[in-house]
Amino acid sequence: MKVLSKIENIFTAVFLLAGTGISLYSVFMRYVVGSSQSWATEIFTMLFVWAIFIGFSTALRDDSHIVIDVVYDRVGPGMKKVCEIVTLIVGTAFSAFFIWAGMDMVLTAYAQGIRTIDVGVPIWITYLIMPIAGVLLLIRFIEKAYRFFTNKVDLEKGDEAEWQQ
């Protein structure tokens, strides 16, 4: 899991930095040089979409997703366990749907031979992030389920110190 975390972090950082660099290049070319670069927006968008979709997994890994604690903090340990199990089931189902729908999009775009307008990149490459992100999310939900069912996480304290070491 540490290797997967490093890979996620590296790819996210590379995509964000490359996207930011292309964006800055585009702004410089448009406003300083006076030459618009139409391809830059397309590449920038693809890189940022990939970074964001990989970020779904890293946010789940780091428990950084938006949560509604108002109700959760007021319920007892039994209800917290029920909430966690429901979250794991829904998250796993969502991940599986994401994989299935993403693969459907990739295969359809591949069969149709659609390409991006400015760069001419096959659109299925852009869509490929959906099943990849789904697999990453599924892995993280399985990891969370493992921690939950092996008592590696304390729901009362939100303590994952034993797991992190």
80/98 Cα distance (integer angstroms): 26
Q: Which two structure tokens, joined as six digits, stand for 137? A: 């999310």
Each residue's pLDDT tens digit, 122-154: 999 999 999 999 999 999 999 999 999 988 765
Q: Which two structure tokens, joined as six digits, stand for 28? A: 């410089």
90/73 Cα distance (integer angstroms): 20
Dihedral angle over CA of 96, 55, 51, 92, nearest 10: 0
CB contact at 8 A, 123 and 48:
no
Mean pLDDT, the chain, rounded, equals 88
- 3-state helix, strand and coil shares in percent for the chain, rounded to the nearest 5: 75, 0, 20
165/24 Cα distance (integer angstroms): 40
pLDDT at 163: 43
39/137 Cα distance (integer angstroms): 31
pLDDT at 164 over 50: no
Each residue's pLDDT tens digit, 34-74: 888 889 999 999 999 999 999 999 999 988 877 777 777 88
131/102 Cα distance (integer angstroms): 5
